[in-house]
Copies of this chain bind each other. A is one copy, B any other.
Amino acid sequence: MAMIEELTRRVKQHESEQELRVIIIAAEGPVFSAGHNMRELLPEAGRQQHELVFKKSESLMMSIVESPVPVIAKVDGVAAAAGCQLVAQCDMAVCTDVSKFSTPGANFGIFCSTPGIPIARSVKKMTALRMLFTGLPITAQEAKECGLVSLVCAKEDLDAELLKITSAIIQKSRSVIELGKRFYYKQIRYDIGEAYSLGSTVMVDNINLKDGQEGIKSFVEKRKATWSHTFK
């Protein structure tokens, strides 16, 4: 629980600071995350304590969705149960080719129901249910194929691949990325006609941002844009 709180604090900590442009969630050692500490879920901890664990976990997950900047999982090793949930909940994930992903909760009597929430929203059903019902791990290559990660690479290329992504992000306006992220997670809830009705307005709002205007002008004038990174 201390780790969940710390992660949530870190995800939110600098969110209003212009200098924060992207968040990478990484781990030291061969385990990205093995999920919850089972000791905190022992019966004697009590229902209130259990509720607190999952409420805090939910807050961490929603802090990723609600973060104004892209959140990337950097995985080099094992991501299991709530650790696999954390990967699936990020906006993007890059992993090494030796990484493994699993949702083995039911082995220990606790079905990975909450990990299934972001997994069902990024992974194909036939793979998602195989993971959830069997608890068996999938390889990095399968994780790419089924939609759990954005990219797989060799360990020695991991930082370079991440750098390509982060460099591309920081060259853009922070406010434009934020506006885009918020709309993405909003529009996926609607049917396509409703999404387009909202979308036209968002595009026009974007153009009328200072950075929208600067972007278009710089493109037409064939010069590099200078971003304000604000919502003015």
**Which single residue of chain B is at the shortest CB-CB distance from A145?**
B145
Whether the pair A113, B191 counts as a contact (CB closer than 8 A) is: no
Whether the pair B117, A121 counts as a contact (CB closer than 8 A) is: no
**1/0 per residue A141-165: CB within 8 Å of B?**
0001111111100000000000011
**1/0 per residue A188-209: CB within 8 Å of B?**
1101110111011011101111
Name A130's contact: one of B114, B132, B165, B202 (CB within 8 Å).
Answer: B165
Whether the pair B117, A196 counts as a contact (CB closer than 8 A) is: yes
Whether the pair B117, A130 counts as a contact (CB closer than 8 A) is: no
Query: Contact size class for A?
Result: 35 or more
Given contacts A92-B126, A133-B177, A200-B54, contact A109 B214 (CB under 8 A): yes
Whether the pair B39, A220 counts as a contact (CB closer than 8 A) is: yes
In the assembled complex, the Cα of A50 lies from the Cα of B213 at a distance in Å of 12
Whether the pair A168, B135 counts as a contact (CB closer than 8 A) is: yes
- The binding surface of chain A is classed by DSSP as helix
**Which single residue of chain B is at the shortest CB-CB distance from A58?**
B196
Given contacts A124-B122, A206-B111, contact A41 B165 (CB under 8 A): no
Whether the pair B202, A133 counts as a contact (CB closer than 8 A) is: no
Given contacts A133-B91, A145-B145, A188-B120, contact A110 B70 (CB under 8 A): no
Cβ of A43 within 8 Å of any chain B Cβ, yes or no, is yes
Q: Which residues of chain B have C-beta atoms less than 8 A from A132's C-beta? A: 180, 184
- Minimum Cβ distance to chain B for residue A207 (Å): 5
Within 8 A of B (CB), among A200-228: 200, 202-204, 206-209, 211-220, 225, 227
26 CB-based A-B contacts, threshold 8 Å = A38-B216, A38-B220, A39-B220, A47-B208, A54-B200, A62-B192, A106-B172, A106-B176, A106-B180, A107-B171, A108-B225, A109-B176, A109-B212, A110-B176, A110-B206, A110-B212, A113-B199, A114-B196, A116-B187, A125-B147, A129-B150, A133-B165, A133-B177, A134-B164, A135-B168, A145-B145
Ranked nearest first, the 3 interchain pairs of A and B with the lowest CB-CB distance are A109-B215, A111-B180, A124-B147
List 4 additional A-B contacts (Cβ < 8 Å) besides A55-B200, A117-B199: A57-B200, A109-B176, A110-B176, A113-B183
